[in-house]
Chains A and B, each alone.
Chain A
Amino acid sequence: DVKVTQSSRYLVKRTGEKVFLECVQDMDHENMFWYRQDPGLGLRLIYFSYDVKMKEKGDIPEGYSVSREKKERFSLILESASTNQTSMYLCASSSLPGELFFGEGSRLTVL
């Protein structure tokens, strides 16, 4: 079975803190994605990566950055967390261009 693992299910951070969300997949997928999900807004793409060290902005990249140093790992970074970044963050991976698989999600609360 494909496994996409997000390191933290629940996080509580303070405004201005730097936040790292980690995602690891075990299927040698080329593509990895970060989405955020908010009530009434659905899933919105933050960033995606189609290869190591490659990244593309999604629909809402402002306030976020990403890192992909190894094929299996894709990190989302909030340089200075703000309350409007309180959300559910979902990591996903796929082969090119196959079925998309998601992790369990990381619920981030910024106080």
Chain B
Amino acid sequence: KQEVTQIPAALSVPEGENLVLNCSFTDSAIYNLQWFRQDPGKGLTSLLLIQSSQREQTSGRLNASLDKSSGRSTLYIAASQPGDSATYLCAVRGESQAGTALIFGKGTTLSVSS
């Protein structure tokens, strides 16, 4: 059964720092991987979707990479800002389950101080 792990569970950085959030998954047969952001008490906002054939995706200050063979993805945030403070979750969809649900990690809670 697929398991998704995000380490660390929490991270605090000063404003302006570049940082990397990690996501690992146990079954490399994935269809795609998606990164989300969640603010307290709110729903999840999609940040980036990486298909299994892709190595990375970029959106603004965010860059997500995918290494299927090692079961890892990273989310790189450049020049962090206090507004980036949130919980970041990654989720994978299995290769044989293209039409079904994503499996989520428990998230990394990021705090950026000014």
Contact = CB atoms under 8 A, between A and B. Distances in A.
Interface in A26-72: 30-31, 33, 40-43, 45, 48, 50, 56, 58
Main secondary structure of the interface of A (DSSP, over half): strand
Nearest to A33: B101
Interface stretch (B21-29, B71-79, B91-99): B91-99
B49 interface: yes
A88 to B, nearest CB: 8
B45 A102 contact: yes
A1 B93 CA distance: 23
Contact of A103 (B34, B43, B89, B100): B43
Nearest to A30: B99
B44 A99 contact: no
Interface of A: 4, 6, 30-31, 33, 40-43, 45, 48, 50, 56, 58, 90, 92, 96-105, 107
